[in-house]
């Protein structure tokens, strides 16, 4: 019988390193350009991570009820899982969720939200094809070439509505607020440098 006790070693960190390689592309981006790109996103998102009133200033976009729900969203309080979490012996999350793909930036000891999505089945969402996987592969390759460390993780907010329409509305409001660079709604804003040739 196979010894499964060693399985835990595959997932001992809160995240995986950037070793995803779906398309084996070559990305020539300087260390300085990539760090500047990360810092621009961090400048926007750090205000939201600190919860310094930025959410309440967004009142024109959201109703009072929406603001209350969005104010409960705190990605740093959610358990980080490896990107390939579906390989764990037991899925830690089931059912509807908002999921958040994040990177921990060692250089500034902070986080970036790279992608926000919604799902009816948290335990199955990343098992198959997903557009974000190609972006993560390109991102990881660019970081590797630039000599920048990365600690990717995925987190699930299971307080999401069961109703699909309401969950998608919440997802869109969170995307509008956090502006994650790998969501199609925000890619142009950040001029994501290593994704120009990904459909």
Q: What is the pTM of this model?
A: 0.76
Burial class (CB in 10 A: 0-12, 13-18, 19+), 117: buried
Burial class (CB in 10 A: 0-12, 13-18, 19+), 112: buried
Maximum CA pair distance of the chain? 60
Query: In a 3-state reduction of DSSP, which class is residue 132?
Result: helix
Convert the pLDDT of each residue in 15-27 to its tens digit. Answer: 444 554 444 445 5
pLDDT value at residue 195: 58
Q: Which residues contact 127 (CB under 8 A, 6 or more apart)?
A: 86
Average pLDDT over residues 171-199: 82
| pLDDT of 168 strictly over 80 | yes
Do 99 and 119 contact (CB within 8 A), yes or no? yes
- The fraction of the chain above a pLDDT of 70, given in percent, is 66
User: Could you give the C-alpha distances from 167 to 12, 44, 88, 109, 174, in angstroms and in order?
Assistant: 31, 24, 26, 31, 11
pLDDT value at residue 84: 75
Q: Which residues contact 53 (CB under 8 A, 6 or more apart)?
A: none
* Choice between 98 and 9, residue whose per-residue pLDDT is larger: 98
- Across the chain, mean pLDDT equals 75
DSSP for 60-81, written as a single string: TTS-HHHHHHHHT--GGGSPPB
Q: Which helix (H) or strand (E) holds 133?
A: helix 131-146
Convert the pLDDT of each residue in 83-97 to its tens digit. Answer: 777 666 666 677 899
């Amino acid at each position: 019988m196979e010894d499964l006790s060693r399985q835990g070693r595959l997932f001992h960190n809160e995240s995986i390193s950037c070793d995803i390689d779906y398309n084996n592309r070559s990305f020539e981006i300087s260390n300085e350009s990539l760090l500047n790109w990360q810092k621009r996103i961090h400048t926007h998102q750090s205000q939201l991570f600190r919860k310094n009133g930025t959410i309440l200033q967004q009142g024109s976009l959201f109703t009072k009820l929406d603001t209350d729900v969005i104010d409960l969203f705190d990605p740093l309080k959610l358990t980080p899982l490896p990107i390939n979490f579906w390989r764990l012996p037991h899925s830690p999350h089931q059912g509807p969720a908002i999921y958040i793909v994040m990177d921990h930036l060692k250089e500034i000891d902070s986080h970036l939200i790279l992608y926000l999505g919604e799902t009816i089945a948290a335990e199955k969402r990343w098992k198959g094809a997903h557009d974000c996987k190609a972006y993560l592969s390109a991102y990881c390759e660019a970081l590797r070439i630039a000599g920048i460390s990365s600690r990717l993780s995925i987190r699930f907010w299971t307080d999401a509505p069961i109703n699909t329409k309401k969950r998608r509305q919440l997802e869109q409001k969170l995307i509008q607020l956090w502006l994650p660079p790998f969501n199609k709604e925000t890619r142009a804003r950040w001029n994501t440098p290593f994704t120009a040739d990904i459909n």
